Structure 1
Amino acid sequence: MKTRTYRNPTGVSRYTGLLLISPFIIGALLLIVYPFVSSFITGLTDGNSFVGFENYKHILSDGQIRNSAAVTLKYALILVPLKLTVSLAVALLLNMELRGIGIFRTAFYIPSILGANLAVIIMWQYLFTSEGLVNQLLGAVGISPVSWYGDPNAALFMIVLLRLWEFGSTMIIFLAALRDIPKELYEAARVDGCGRARAFFSITLPQIKNVIFINLVLQTIAAMQEFNAPYILTGGGPLGKTRTIGMSIYEEMFTYGDAGTANALSWLLFVLIALIVFIMYRVTGTLRRDGR
């Protein structure tokens, strides 16, 4: 059997491709792989000497850290469904063909740009003070003022409300998915006498189920890593009821100077997020196989 030899007609070296992608490879090694491995190794030390998995044992037995994990899970369970629901509802409204709809789409997206701004979080902090605008509005309609910083549930809701306000990026993804649904499906459904509610559950949701899953994963990951809002708004109070895992990592590293525990806790957070995403994938995969 005759063996064919590949000949490069351009005369370009086979290593040219590697040379072109070398900046990415070097960047990935220095900025991703090295910190990943270094963090794991540091988590097995007390900062100076190797201690094995003692840091992990300490974390699992620490009541304050376990409380932070519970707060983070509760926060994610409240925020993510609310954010997906609001984002999808607004995306459905903005999917209508109306004059000037582009202005409204831009206006609804702006909070997502401003939400990461420190000034916005500080402004939010003043809105919910005892004499703030929110309590003034509640008083105007006959509702007693709320102790937003003294009530654990109210404090957590205040943080959820801030992140819920930043639904623009999730809304844009939903809107792009909605605009990709063939209009012929709705026209055929209308001819068959299908109402809007039934069309939503029979056409819209099945068509965007993959996008819903993507948004669910992205928002869950973001919620599980929450740090800025509770750190600035409440400082983890009252009584640690808004202290997230991100805040515990920060305190272990920069307040107590315990790099080993901080890195070990970061890895446990990574494993927890990966486990949650895996469960989501398995559950949604089962639903798809069942045809529901």
Structure 2
Amino acid sequence: MSQTTSVALTTAAGTKKRKSFLSRWDAPIAGYLFILPWLIGFFGLTAYPMILSLYYSFTDYTLMEPVSWVGARNYERIFTADDKFIQSIKVTFMYVIASVPLKLIAALLVAVVLNKAMRGISAYRTAIYFPSLIGGSIAVSLLWRNIFGVDGIFNKILGIFGIGGTGWVTNPSTALWTLVLLTVWQFGSSMVIFLAGLKQIPNDLYEASSVDGANKFVQFFKITLPMLSPTLYFNLIMGVINAFQMFTSAYVITNGGPMNSTYVYALYLYERAFSRYQLGYSSALAWIMLVIIVIVAVIIAGTSKYWVFYETESGGKKRK
């Protein structure tokens, strides 16, 4: 072999080695470049504020004075000397327990009705989903307050039937239920997810059960609910998380009243942070709420093995 050929082969081998080395780095670098905006947003807008909030929860931090470390004193005050904390926790759990199941039931029933091939079904689905787009706005909350006021349209409708109504948002026994009703009215997002789950259920199951004499009621509880249980599980988790963080409607419609009957946790946290400027104390409240949500989510996840059905063994455990 000539010297020129040997040099050419050596150069080609070196070039191939460099290309192989670069090719191993090109794909990861390109991937990180594509997710760079998300990484910046996550670390700059989520991770860093959370870490800073955790630090502030152990400090006596106000906007008027320098930050001073107080250790676990904020948490000690919350659990031992804060009556409003207990009240807000109580109201929040009442709201979650009432609103989440009612919202899921309404979303599921409407999804079953709309899961049919009929004329104009897309228009019906859009109209029913629309409240979810505007339901959390301040304008809707103001409208809701007027509807259930003393002179609101709800009382006028009751008056047609000879029923005397009160100010529903100003009555301690009914104010929270007006907020629950507003939440249930916003079932569109859950309904769309249920519709997607219903589309995945094979029609063969319904046809076979019909041959065996099963009616619609039996089909719903023996086929639809078990096959839809993973979707129900997802909607339940998301509904619980959102319900614990409810703020806008309570702030605009009732502002926590009357007699603290709608004084939800997020409203109390907001008051501590932006009315009293106790940012360290409110940071501790925020982390307590995070722990509560995680505990509730873990409990739901732990019970899911008893009621969530997966079609294949690879997808999870089958319900016996």
What corresponds to 1:207 in structure 2?
227
What corresponds to 1:291 in structure 2?
319
Residue correspondence of structure 1 range 1-292 to structure 2 within 5 A: 7=20, 13=26, 15-47=29-61, 48-61=67-80, 62-288=82-308, 291=319
Q: Which runs of 5+ in 1 are unaligned?
A: none
Structure 1's 171 and 247: CA in aligned 2 closer, same or farther, altered over 3 A? Answer: same
Give the letter for the 1:22 counterpart.
L
Question: How many corresponding residue pairs?
Answer: 288
* Stretch deviating more after TM superposition (86-95 or 144-153): 144-153
1: CA distance, partners of 2:221 / 2:169: 40
Structure 1's 9 and 37: CA in aligned 2 closer, same or farther, altered over 3 A? Answer: closer
* Stretch deviating more after TM superposition (43-52 or 143-152): 143-152
SS at match of 2:44: helix
* Stretch deviating more after TM superposition (116-125 or 12-21): 12-21
Structure 1's 187 and 124: CA in aligned 2 closer, same or farther, altered over 3 A? Answer: same
Q: Which has the larger radius of gyration?
A: 2
Give the letter for the 2:319 counterpart.
G
Give the TM-score normalised by the residue count of structure 1: 0.94
Give the letter for the 1:34 counterpart.
Y
2: CA distance, partners of 1:175 / 1:105: 10
Same amino acid, percent of matched pairs: 37
User: Structure 1 residue 10: deviation in Å?
Assistant: 5.3
1:36-57 CA deviation, whole Å, 9 max, x = no partner?
1000001100012111111111
1:96-145 CA deviation, whole Å, 9 max, x = no partner?
11111111111100111111221111111111111110011111112221
> CA contact under 8 A between 2:112 and 2:195: conserved in structure 1?
yes
User: Structure 1 residue 148: deviation in Å?
Assistant: 1.2
User: Structure 1 residue 233: deviation in Å?
Assistant: 0.3
2: CA distance, partners of 1:152 / 1:118: 22
* Stretch deviating more after TM superposition (137-146 or 126-135): 137-146
2: CA distance, partners of 1:146 / 1:166: 24
1: CA distance, partners of 2:170 / 2:200: 46
Give the TM-score normalised by the residue count of structure 2: 0.86
> CA contact under 8 A between 2:138 and 2:249: conserved in structure 1?
no
Structure 1's 16 and 145: CA in aligned 2 closer, same or farther, altered over 3 A? Answer: closer
Higher relative contact order (CA 8 A, sep 6+): 1
2: CA distance, partners of 1:16 / 1:137: 62
1:174-209 CA deviation, whole Å, 9 max, x = no partner?
011111111111111111111111111111011110
Give the letter for the 2:86 counterpart.
R
2: CA distance, partners of 1:151 / 1:80: 22
2: CA distance, partners of 1:230 / 1:189: 46
Give the letter for the 1:200 counterpart.
F
Q: Which runs of 5+ in 2 are unaligned?
A: 1-16, 62-66, 309-316
1:135-180 CA deviation, whole Å, 9 max, x = no partner?
1111111222123133222100111111111110010000111111
Structure 1's 191 and 84: CA in aligned 2 closer, same or farther, altered over 3 A? Answer: same
2: CA distance, partners of 1:141 / 1:226: 34
Give the letter for the 2:68 counterpart.
S
User: Structure 1 residue 70: deviation in Å?
Assistant: 0.5
2: CA distance, partners of 1:99 / 1:7: 59
